């Protein structure tokens, strides 16, 4: 960031039970207890203070792998980003404060070869990160706002999606799981059956589920047949404004397609029973986008913020080239 943007005082700390600066409003993923459960008791955090008051927070996970240093999101935490309090004042004053606070947070980060974070869309955040030399791009997401009512949600749905839900309601039942190990087992079994290699931190499901249960902030819902055989499951979590469709899986095959629609509809109903917005929690591939579109949600955006060293970019390029070459070689000799 160029001259003329004063930087406020700050410090980098570990988020532990001994150090808990005042909490500013954010999502469930900014909560101390969530970060503790997601990172097995340890996550670092940069803070900026003004007159002894915390005006900026940026939790992050710092790791070393393959000789490189990474700053990223904690496991099963799909959106995070800075929390800032610019205080009152004119728009110009608040924007300058935002830029200064974000600069102060980023200057405290340890040296890293790769940085990746995701935060809610904000023009101020776009400018703040770009001014500090970070790359910012959008990530599509879908949301259903609170307060519109379930009949209105059904009216906006694609007629095929409504049909899938109605048929599934005849064939399946809904239940809440009392043991997260069943969800993890079902998820892994589905990955094995489909040959997927998703790097999902399933070992953090149980600690996060237990932390959510203690605070009435989440549950695991299952769609199953009359014999109790699961067809689809989802881990959903919520805060004071939104319910997030955090992690879901379904059995492979066309038979479970209707169950997947019923699973999302059940989660939407849970959100509206609590007076919350429903957040589909990000779109990562085209198939997911087509599936979510059927529920008539509003398109929204998040920000993906990255910065990488030239050495890391070169290593990643070579790794991808080698992986592509191995895949072509496998096709030739099979």
Position 22 scores a pLDDT of 40
Phi, psi of 119 (to 5 degrees): -140, 170
d(CA 17, CA 37): 12
d(CA 239, CA 58): 19
Is 143-296 in the same CATH topology as 10-133+303-332?
A: yes
143-296 domain in CATH 3.40.630.30? Answer: yes
d(CA 139, CA 283): 7
Instruction: Tell me which CATH code domain 10-133+303-332 carries.
Output: 3.40.630
Tens place of pLDDT per residue across the chain (334 aa): 333 333 344 555 555 443 444 446 799 999 999 999 999 878 999 999 988 889 999 999 999 988 899 999 999 999 999 999 988 889 999 999 999 999 999 999 999 999 999 999 899 999 999 999 999 999 999 999 998 899 999 999 999 999 999 999 999 999 999 999 999 999 999 988 887 777 789 999 999 999 999 999 999 999 999 888 999 999 999 999 999 999 999 998 867 789 999 999 999 999 999 999 999 998 878 888 888 999 999 999 999 999 999 998 898 888 888 777 765 655 555 5
CA angle 317-118-217, nearest 5°?
135
Domain boundaries, the chain: 10-133+303-332, 143-296
Position 1 scores a pLDDT of 36
d(CA 255, CA 164): 11
d(CA 334, CA 99): 55
Provide the 8-state DSSP code for 329: H
Give DSSP secondary structure letters for 86-137: --SS-HHHHHHHHHHHHHHHHTTSPP-SEEEEEEE--HHHHHHHHHTT-EEE
**Run of H or E including 10:** strand 10-14
Position 2 scores a pLDDT of 34
Position 327 scores a pLDDT of 59
Contacts of 165 (CB under 8 A, 6+ apart): 258, 261, 262, 265
**In 131-183, which ranges are E strands?**
135-144, 173-176
Position 328 scores a pLDDT of 63
Position 13 scores a pLDDT of 54
Position 186 scores a pLDDT of 96
């Amino acid at each position: 960031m160029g001259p003329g943007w004063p930087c406020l005082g700050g410090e980098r700390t570990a988020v532990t039970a001994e150090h808990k600066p005042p909490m500013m409003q954010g999502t469930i993923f900014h909560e101390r207890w969530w970060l503790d459960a997601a990172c097995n008791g340890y996550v670092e955090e940069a803070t900026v203070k003004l007159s002894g008051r915390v005006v900026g927070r940026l939790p992050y996970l710092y790791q070393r792998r393959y000789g490189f240093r990474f700053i990223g999101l904690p496991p099963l935490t799909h959106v995070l980003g800075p929390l800032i309090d610019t205080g009152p004042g004119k728009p110009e004053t608040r924007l300058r404060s935002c830029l200064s606070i974000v600069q102060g947070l980023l200057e405290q980060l340890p040296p890293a070869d790769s940085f990746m974070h995701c935060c809610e869309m904000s023009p101020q955040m776009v400018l703040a990160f770009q001014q500090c030399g970070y790359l910012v791009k959008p990530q599509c997401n879908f949301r259903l706002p609170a307060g519109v009512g379930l009949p209105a949600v059904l009216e906006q749905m694609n007629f095929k999606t409504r049909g899938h839900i109605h048929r599934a309601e005849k064939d399946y039942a809904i239940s809440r799981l009392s043991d997260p190990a069943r969800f993890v087992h079902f998820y892994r079994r589905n990955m094995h059956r489909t040959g997927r290699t998703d790097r999902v931190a399933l070992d953090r499901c149980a600690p996060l589920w237990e932390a959510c249960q203690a605070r009435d902030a989440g549950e695991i819902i299952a769609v199953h047949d009359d014999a109790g055989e699961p067809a689809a499951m989802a881990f959903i979590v919520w805060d004071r404004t939104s319910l997030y469709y955090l992690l879901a899986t379904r059995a492979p095959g066309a038979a479970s397609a209707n169950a997947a629609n019923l699973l999302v509809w059940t989660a939407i109903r849970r959100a509206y029973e609590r007076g919350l917005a429903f957040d589909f929690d990000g779109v990562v591939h085209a198939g997911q986008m087509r599936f979510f579109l059927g529920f008539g949600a509003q398109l929204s955006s998040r920000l993906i913020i990255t910065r990488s060293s030239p050495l890391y970019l070169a290593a990643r390029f070579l790794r991808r080239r080698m992986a592509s070459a191995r895949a072509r070689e496998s096709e030739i000799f099979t």
